[in-house]
A and B are shown apart, each in its own frame.
Chain A
Amino acid sequence: MKNKLFSKLFISLSLVVMFSMATFNYFINPYKVFNHNYFSSYIKTRDHQASHRMTLFYSAVYQNPESLLIGTSRMGILPISEPKKYMPNKLFNMWMPGGTIEEQTHLIKYMIAKFNIKEIVWSLDFHSFNPELANDPNFSYNRVDPNAIYKDDYNLALFGYQTTFNSIKTLKDNLKNFKLNHKTTSKQKIEKSLKTKKQTVTLGNGWDEKVNSISNDEIDIQTKKQLIHYPEKYLRYRTFNNPKSIQSNLTKVEEIINICKKKNIKLHVYTSPVSQSFLNLYKEIGLQNTFVAWKKDLSKVTSYTDFCTLNSITKEKYNFLDGSHLKPSLGYLIYARLFHDNSVNIPNDFGIFIEKKN
């Protein structure tokens, strides 16, 4: 083979493969990175994400939200229908599993800079203040930098074998649904739809509704697992037992408080509830002083509602899925407390308002 033919064949073949891959991925759009509606009547579900953070970010951006819920999975698990009662204007739940304060504050700053945000509910977890807790590998500073030209997500969403596989999977899922809707009798449709509903009806937040009917035995197993896994992943670091270690993250929280004040954004801050076994865990592994300092120092920065106490809800371990995530069915209590809804019967000791100390 001549070198000229070799070079031309190599370049043309490579371009054909890359162009086909990019076109296919662009139209299927498995990560919802592109804001288009081509084939919207065929492709309705996109369940194969590259990362939760990326898809969540673009979903939020294309919704142009006015109200935000920010927090970790402890907030993510709560159904969005509850806060929607109090914040009806374009509400978006921007929860990030294991999100650090660094990640959360960058995201809030971005959303405030780019959109007309009027109200924010911010759920704070104790462990997020651990200064040694690393950002999720899928978090990107450039993505949440309002001034950056960020192209990595577009590259990821257009090219790559993983994206192509996810596009194929997305296409397959939707073809199944399409067949279900077009090639079955009405009776079959109802039966299949009921079957499907049992498996996939969600709370609109990515969590399966079946978590509400979790058995107590399963809760015991999950709590036991979490009590081993959680401290290893989030708490056991070299400096977190020093109460001063939380200061750097508190400063970041304070920065957000000031931005919200300046921009006249209504901000509701609360500490997320954890079960008694988790409150005891902090003592057992020598974090009690940091935990106490966290709440005390937080009150120097902002007023907040404290759910992370020993109270009627946290004393009952079966109110939690695994000791650290409140059951979604109880989420309404948090929002009712935050929005002073007197029509809801909330235990008196659940959610104590802590006023900012100057």
Chain B
Amino acid sequence: MLFNSYEFIFLFLPISFIIYFYLTSKRLITASKGWLIFSSLFFYSWWNIAYLPLILISILFNYSLSKSLIEFKEHNKNYISKKRLLQVGLILNISLLIYFKYMDFFISNTNFVFNSEISLLHLALPLAISFFTLQQIAFLIDSYEGLVEEKNFLDYTIFVIFFPQLIAGPIVHHAEMMPQFSSRWNLVKNYKNISAGLFIFSIGLFKKVVIADAFAQWANLGFTNSATLNLLEAWAASLSYTFQMYFDFSGYTDMAIGAALLFNIKLPQNFNSPYKATGIIDFWQRWHITLTVFIKTYVYTPILRSFSRITFTKAMFATFAAMFISGLWHGAGWNYIVWGSLHGVALVINHHWQKRKIKMNKILAWFITFNFVNVTLIFFKASTLSQAMEVLNNMITGNIVLYHSLDSVLSFLTPFGVHFGTVFTHIGEKPKTLVYIIIAFIIILAFKNSNELTEKFKASKYSLAYIFTLFIVAISMLSNFSEFLYFNF
């Protein structure tokens, strides 16, 4: 079930909410948690019930293992050491991810290298596998490290499967989630949270339906016609995807945060105006923040700790390796690896600059950062590396075509290879693409982000009029709903 669907907004969410708080009002706490789990499982199964056993087995296995790790007592009678127990858990979790997500990638590369003909498995990627696997790996590691105190099975299950964050994050940490599920303060309807939740949910819905979906059509057409784009079309296509990605993913996160707030659960912030970043380090502190924290805690730090002596060079190696893995986590394809590696290299360069205390003009720094993000996202979007190169090539060497109407004023540019005609033919012949791009730049640079707005939110007739307008506009454009980009990861 999609957040941006009528059945979610008008049926699933209200029913889940009403029954949950009815049960809590009757002090049926276990039943209310059971209801939350049931509704989350229903939400998950809406797409494909076939993968329901997989997530249930994964939860049961990881919960049992983590319980063993928490209660593990070192003595001679143990058949297996605590460290080995953790390793088994990690290997099984990662194997599950590799099997479903990366098997075909490995097979096709093996076929390419060894000229073999091993058949591809064509497995459908179970929804949310990347997210629930990461969260449970973190829980296992922390159980091993002795950092886990909560071990209630219902709370653990809700932590993994709570529907607002289940499909595409934010990637939540047990330490910030499980206490919220077990807190009695959260079992009472809180109208401050409800109004704030409705507020941020409406903003997210608007971002997704009105802004991201408009950019999606131009980005999709542009990348489909990658070989024939002119220079302006290539830039419009890549910028459309860059904006689509932000408004889509941050819109989803806003809706997740809003839906969770209705249940008095505070999900972590995932975006903090990332396109205002003036450096790539700054960017990763603002973009998909929960993934950055996860990668830093559970990938970067262990790599660094594996060295006997930490040096700057080794830290940079760990940075690059972490971003390489982050790229691979996003998808089984060379384009994702290239994307992750480019960001790894950029982070290393940025760290070098910081170490040498090189200062740059802020506007220039923003310009370089934004364009770097824009260019690297081409690899993220493209289905093949050659398609990415076609878009990139046309962004540099594509034909310069300007509007017919400019012919009389700018005809002196014709000898320099400038043509006059229809500019956006290959991305839908919509001049409004340009208008949308300008508006998007204004929104990302001049406006406060949804978290900042929610923090300052106060119930008033103005805020009511504001979100009611956003909500009704978004709802009336919902009919052609589309999936969120991060559902594919």
Contacts and interface: CB of A to CB of B under 8 A. Distances in A.
B10 interface: yes
B486 interface: no
Interface residues of A, number: 25
Interface string B305-321: 00000000000000000
B289 to A, nearest CB: 27
A137 B443 CA distance: 30
Dominant SS at the A interface? helix
Interface string A199-231: 000000000000000000000000000000000
Contacts of B198: 7, 10-11
Contacts of B58: none
A2 B477 contact: no
Contact of A156 (B7, B192, B473, B479): B479
A163 interface: yes
Contact of A10 (B195, B473, B478): B195
B475 A18 contact: yes
B397 interface: no
A3 B10 contact: no
Contact of B459 (A6, A17, A162, A163): A6
A159 B471 contact: no
B472 to A, nearest CB: 6
A2 B478 contact: no
B119 interface: no
B123 interface: no
Contacts of B477: 160-161
A6 B472 contact: no
Dominant SS at the B interface? helix
Nearest to A13: B468
B478 A160 contact: yes
B464 A14 contact: no
Interface in B432-451: none
A9 B195 CA distance: 10
B195 A159 contact: no
Given A3-B191, A10-B464, A10-B468, A159 B459 contact: no
Contacts of B355: none
Nearest to A2: B459
B76 interface: no
Contacts of A4: 191
B373 to A, nearest CB: 29
Contact of B464 (A6, A17, A152, A161): A6
A164 B461 CA distance: 27
A152 B461 CA distance: 34
A18 B9 CA distance: 12
A159 B194 contact: no
A160 B463 contact: no
A159 B479 CA distance: 7
A1 B462 CA distance: 10
Contact of B472 (A2, A11, A17): A17
B460 interface: yes
B480 interface: yes
B10 A18 contact: yes
Contacts of B403: none
B467 interface: yes
B475 A2 contact: no
A155 B475 CA distance: 11
B479 A162 contact: yes
A151 to B, nearest CB: 8
B463 A6 contact: yes
B476 A10 contact: no
Given A9-B464, A160-B479, A2 B191 contact: yes
A14 B471 contact: yes
A5 interface: yes
A9 B199 CA distance: 13
A310 interface: no
30 contacts: A1-B459, A1-B460, A1-B464, A3-B191, A3-B192, A3-B194, A6-B459, A6-B460, A7-B191, A7-B195, A9-B464, A10-B464, A13-B468, A14-B471, A14-B472, A21-B476, A151-B7, A152-B479, A155-B6, A156-B479, A159-B6, A159-B475, A159-B476, A159-B478, A159-B479, A160-B478, A160-B479, A161-B476, A162-B479, A164-B476
